[in-house]
Amino acid sequence: MSDKRPIGVFDSGIGGLTVLKSLLQYLPHEDYIYLGDTARTPYGNKSAEAVRQYAGQITSFLASQDVKAIVVACNTVSAAAIETVKEKAWPVPVFEVISPLVMQAAHFVKQADSNRVGVLATRRTVRSGQYPKAMSTIVKDDVSVEQIACPIFVELVEEGIWDGPFAKAAVDHYLAAWKADAPDAVLLACTHFPLLKPLIESFLPEAEVMESGPAVSLVVADALDRQERLNESEHIGECQFYCTDTIESFVELAESFLGQPVENIRQLDWKDVPC
């Protein structure tokens, strides 16, 4: 059996493109609808209630586009609003980004015989405590989870400042506590942060720095395969993009990151979308 319907992917902005890029590598024959809620980014400093409201609205929109699955390419939504997303999406299956990354980290700590994991995330994700909770559920032995909220990273990435002295100063500022003694594994628990990965890796040369995209893509690929819902056609998957603010800056950043033209893009006005 083959299911040719697209996969919905969303984030507060361009960060979720780090997940989309992996999905395009692992599942190149699928079509995708990507929504970046650029008018309301960042989510990480907002209340859990606001994040639930935004995520619910986006999920209703994606479900109305007849997607076969929804990938929540946002840790903040995965941490604060996953039940709302599942409720609005039902019966469409939903994939979040926290457990795949924690599973990968759990595998690493076991192999490396390590007991220290670092988590870099937004304030909302850190406050939710979802990473330490998931880690203690999956890894039975004692692993200490040290979290640092890095809200400015999201702003830098949305501004296209992925390198240079300004971004480096932000990395130095937030990661200072780990300079002399870093955790063995550092999880980029915000989908915006992989764009700063080279800077983070050079600041923490001993640490294994991990991101969500490949981990969640493997989970999605495996689930669709087992359910016989992969797109079996050999065509190269197409992406339809939506953003909720002006498209110019989104297109420029998205093209630069994805390394491909971003042509199918529309600006979505929530006033025109029924809830």
Residues classed as catalytic: 74, 190
Please report whether residue 8 would count as binding ligand DGL according to CB under 6 A.
no
Instruction: Provide the token pair at 274.
Output: 């029924």
Which of residues 15, 36, 118, 132 is near ligand DGL by CB under 6 A?
15
Cα–Cα distance measured from residue 19 to residue 97, given in angstroms and rounded to the nearest whole number:
9
Please report whether residue 41 would count as binding ligand DGL according to CB under 6 A.
yes
CA-closest candidate to residue 15, choices 39, 44, 40, 36: 36
CA-closest candidate to residue 170, choices 188, 185, 150: 150
Which of residues 191, 217, 231, 244 is near ligand DGL by CB under 6 A?
191
Percentages of the chain per state (helix, strand, coil), in multiples of 5: 50, 15, 35
Place of tokens 């929540």: 72
Q: What string marks each residue from 105 to 144 as x (binds ligand DGL by CB under 6 A) or -?
A: -----------------x--x-------------------
Cα–Cα distance measured from residue 91 to residue 74, given in angstroms and rounded to the nearest whole number:
21
Which of residues 8, 44, 100, 213 is near ligand DGL by CB under 6 A?
44
Which of residues 22, 38, 59, 75 is near ligand DGL by CB under 6 A?
75
Please report whether residue 243 would count as binding ligand DGL according to CB under 6 A.
no
**Shortest Cβ contact with ligand DGL: which residue?**
44
Residue 214, C-beta contacts closer than 8 angstroms, at least 6 positions apart: 22, 26
User: Least separation, in Å, of the C-beta of 218 and ligand DGL?
Assistant: 18
Please report whether residue 150 would count as binding ligand DGL according to CB under 6 A.
no
Grouping H, G, I as helix, E, B as strand and the rest as coil, residue 266 is strand
Please report whether residue 154 would count as binding ligand DGL according to CB under 6 A.
yes
Please report whether residue 54 would count as binding ligand DGL according to CB under 6 A.
no
Please report whether residue 190 would count as binding ligand DGL according to CB under 6 A.
yes
User: Least separation, in Å, of the C-beta of 9 and ligand DGL?
Assistant: 12
Measured between alpha carbons, how far is residue 264 from residues 14, 53, 106, 242, 243 in Å?
15, 26, 38, 8, 11
Which of residues 12, 57, 59, 84 is near ligand DGL by CB under 6 A?
12
Cα–Cα distance measured from residue 131 to residue 189, given in angstroms and rounded to the nearest whole number:
8
- Residues at the contact surface with ligand DGL, assessed by CB under 6 A: 11-12, 15, 41-44, 74-76, 122, 125, 154, 190-192
